[in-house]
């Protein structure tokens, strides 16, 4: 579907060039979800704009369906590739239906009048992103997630085999991020469309993308998420070298080591893991043997024993941790 051949992206300033990447040799096939990943400033958005011909390549070539991308007429290109940039949708006074219908411009005449097949394409796009019941809502009345789905519906209504998106989950909360990416994957599988998108949501990408295009200032890699994890190609994304990706638990962030005295836990085995997680986050090591700090975990109750002092009872994890940190500043030497 698409092949990048020795593609160099960046900017021209007079006769000078500002290159943002090494020569890129990437490819992708219909029905895939391809994520562009890399540190800030490496050229993820520039690569997308170059593919959609909003920016000139410094060198190299892009092939779409075995044809150079710069040999398509504007109208022919608009029938192959659609683009969802980061930012706001069309003016808020448009309805959802009107905003999506604008995407049919490659198929309408100068008057922009929709034919029967254009209306069908708009309706199918609205159903695909679960907005059919909001067709008459004004864009200004939509939530961030609904606006993003409207933009994706525009790209679907344009009926292109290739859809590019720049940060489609930016500014969305976690449920909406998942919903948008899951919706994209469903459409790619059912309609055999190729989605190429930039994103910083690494946890979601590693679970949902078929392939990653990984950009660094001095290198580039492509492959499945599993291959890039195995080869440690993603490691440079983490500036703090203590952060790593655990194949079983996901991103591993080192916890604070603030206190020396370990805490031993007993009681309700269903509740203990939650308290253990909170204690580790607060900097307390966990011990299987009884020490100076002991907590008996009961249902919605936590009983703290410090040496020979009378036991103290807490009704929440938060109140227990707060007491340990604020009331016992010398707990590290207890």
Q: Is residue 143 domain-resident?
A: yes
Q: Which two tokens stand for residue 49?
A: 């704009």
254 domain-assigned: no
Judgement on whether residues 244 and 279 belong to the same structural domain of the protein? no
CATH at 280: 3.40.50.800
Question: The tokens of 136 are what?
Answer: 């008459």
Question: Residue 185: how many CB atoms within 10 A of its CB?
Answer: 17
Nearest Cα residue to 223 out of 204, 237, 210: 210
- Distance, in Å, from the CA atom of 179 to the CA atom of 162, rounded to the nearest integer, reads 20
Instruction: Show the tokens assigned to 100.
Output: 């999506």
Q: For residue 225, give both structure tokens.
A: 């998420």
Confidence of residue 332 (pLDDT cuts 50, 70, 90): very low
pLDDT of 190 above 60: yes
DSSP per-residue string spanning 235-274: GGG-SSTT-EEETTTEEE-PPP----S-EEEEE-TTTHHH
Q: Are 157 and 58 in a shared domain? A: yes
Identify whether residues 170 and 95 lie together within a single domain.
yes
- Residue 169: CB partners within 8 Å, gap ≥ 6? 148, 176, 177, 180, 181, 199, 201, 204
Give yes or no for residue 5 having a pLDDT over 90: yes
pLDDT, tens digit (0-9, with 9 covering 90-100), for 191-244? 999 999 999 988 889 889 999 999 999 999 999 999 998 888 988 887 655 666
Instruction: Say which residue, 250 or 34, is predicted with more confidence.
Output: 34
- Asked if 270 and 144 sit in the same domain, the reply is no
Across the range 81-94, mean pLDDT stands at 80
Instruction: Based on the fold, state whether residues 241 and 305 are members of the same structural domain.
Output: no
Over 70: is that where the pLDDT of 253 sits?
no
**In terms of domains, do 160 and 276 share one?**
no
- Residue 123 resides in a domain: yes
Q: How far apart are CA 235 and CA 292, in angstroms?
A: 39
Q: What separation in angstroms does the CA of 1 have from each of 47, 188, 309?
A: 17, 13, 71
Domain-ending residue, one of 249, 272, 293: 249
Q: Could you tell me if 201 and 286 lie in one domain?
A: no
Nearest to 3 by CA among 28, 23, 34, 22: 28
Residue at 168 is within a domain: yes
When pLDDT is averaged across residues 133-141 and rounded to a whole number, the result is 91
How many domains in the chain?
2
* Bridge partner list, 162: 81, 194
3-state secondary structure of 97: helix
How would residue 285 be classed by pLDDT, with cut points 50, 70 and 90?
Answer: confident
DSSP reduced 3-state for 1 = coil
Give a yes or no: residue 258 inside a domain: no
Verify that 236 and 194 share a domain, yes or no.
Answer: yes
Q: Considering only residues 242 and 103, tell me which one the structure prediction assigns the higher pLDDT.
A: 103
Q: What is the pLDDT of residue 8?
A: 95
Final residue in a domain of this structure, among 227, 249, 271? 249
The SS3 of residue 214 is strand
- Residue pair 55/49 in contact (Cβ under 8 Å)? The answer is yes
**Closest Cα to residue 228, out of 43, 38, 47?**
38
Residue 256 lies in a domain: no
Q: What angle do CA 112, 49, 144 make, to 5 degrees?
A: 70
pLDDT at 255 over 80: no
Q: What are phi and psi of 176, to 5 degrees?
A: -70, -35
Residue 241 shares a structural domain with residue 277: no
Contact 2, 28 (CB under 8 A): yes
Task: Look at phi and psi of residue 14 and say left if phi exceeds 0, alpha if psi is from -120 to 50, else beta.
Answer: left
Helix axes 317-326, 272-282, angle to 10 degrees: 30
Q: Which residue has the tokens 């980061």?
A: 86
Mean pLDDT, rounded, of the chain: 87
Residue-number span of the structural domain to which 151 is assigned: 2-249
Residues above pLDDT 90, as percent of the chain = 54
Give the per-residue pLDDT at 300.
83
In a domain, 329, yes or no: yes
Q: Residue 331: which region, alpha, beta or left (left: phi > 0; alpha: psi -120 to 50)?
A: alpha
Residue, of 124 and 90, whose pLDDT is higher = 124
Q: Do 194 and 326 have their domain in common?
A: no
Q: Are residues 269 and 149 in the same domain?
A: no
Q: For residue 194, what is the domain's CATH number? A: 3.40.50.300
State yes or no: pLDDT of 125 exceeds 60: yes
Please count the helices (runs of H) and the strands (runs of E) in the chain.
Answer: 10, 19
Same domain, 271 and 158: no
Domain final position from 219, 249, 279: 249
């Amino acid at each position: 579907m698409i092949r990048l051949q020795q593609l160099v992206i960046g900017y021209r300033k007079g006769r000078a060039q500002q290159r943002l990447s090494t020569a890129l040799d990437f490819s992708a096939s219909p029905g895939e979800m391809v994520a562009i990943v890399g540190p800030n400033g490496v050229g993820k958005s520039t690569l997308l704009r170059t593919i959609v011909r909003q920016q000139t390549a410094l060198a190299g070539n892009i092939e779409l369906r075995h044809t150079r991308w710069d040999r398509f007429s504007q109208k022919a290109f608009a029938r192959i590739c659609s683009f969802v940039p980061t930012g706001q949708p069309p003016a808020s006074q448009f309805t959802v239906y009107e905003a999506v219908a604008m995407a049919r411009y490659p198929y309408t005449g100068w008057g922009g009048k929709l034919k029967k097949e254009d209306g069908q394409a708009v309706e199918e796009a609205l159903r695909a992103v679960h907005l059919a019941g909001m067709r008459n809502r004004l864009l200004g009345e939509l939530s961030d997630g609904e606006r993003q789905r409207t933009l994706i519906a525009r790209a679907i209504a344009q009926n292109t085999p290739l859809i590019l998106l720049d940060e489609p989950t930016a500014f969305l909360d976690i449920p909406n991020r998942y919903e948008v990416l899951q919706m994209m994957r469903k459409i790619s599988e059912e309609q055999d469309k190729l989605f190429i998108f930039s994103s910083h949501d690494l946890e979601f990408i590693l679970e949902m993308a078929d392939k990653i295009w990984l950009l660094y200032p001095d290198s580039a890699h492509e492959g499945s998420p599993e291959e890039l994890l195995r080869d440690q190609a993603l490691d440079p994304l983490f500036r703090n070298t203590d952060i790593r990706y655990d194949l079983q638990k996901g991103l591993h962030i080192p916890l604070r080591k603030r206190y020396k005295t370990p805490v031993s836990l007993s009681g309700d085995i269903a509740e203990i893991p939650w308290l253990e997680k909170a204690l580790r986050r607060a900097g307390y090591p966990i011990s299987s043997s009884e020490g100076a700090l002991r907590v008996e975990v009961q249902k919605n109750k936590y009983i703290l024993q410090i040496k020979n002092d009378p036991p103290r009872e807490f009704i929440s994890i938060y109140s227990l941790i707060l007491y340990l940190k604020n009331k016992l500043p010398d707990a590290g030497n207890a």
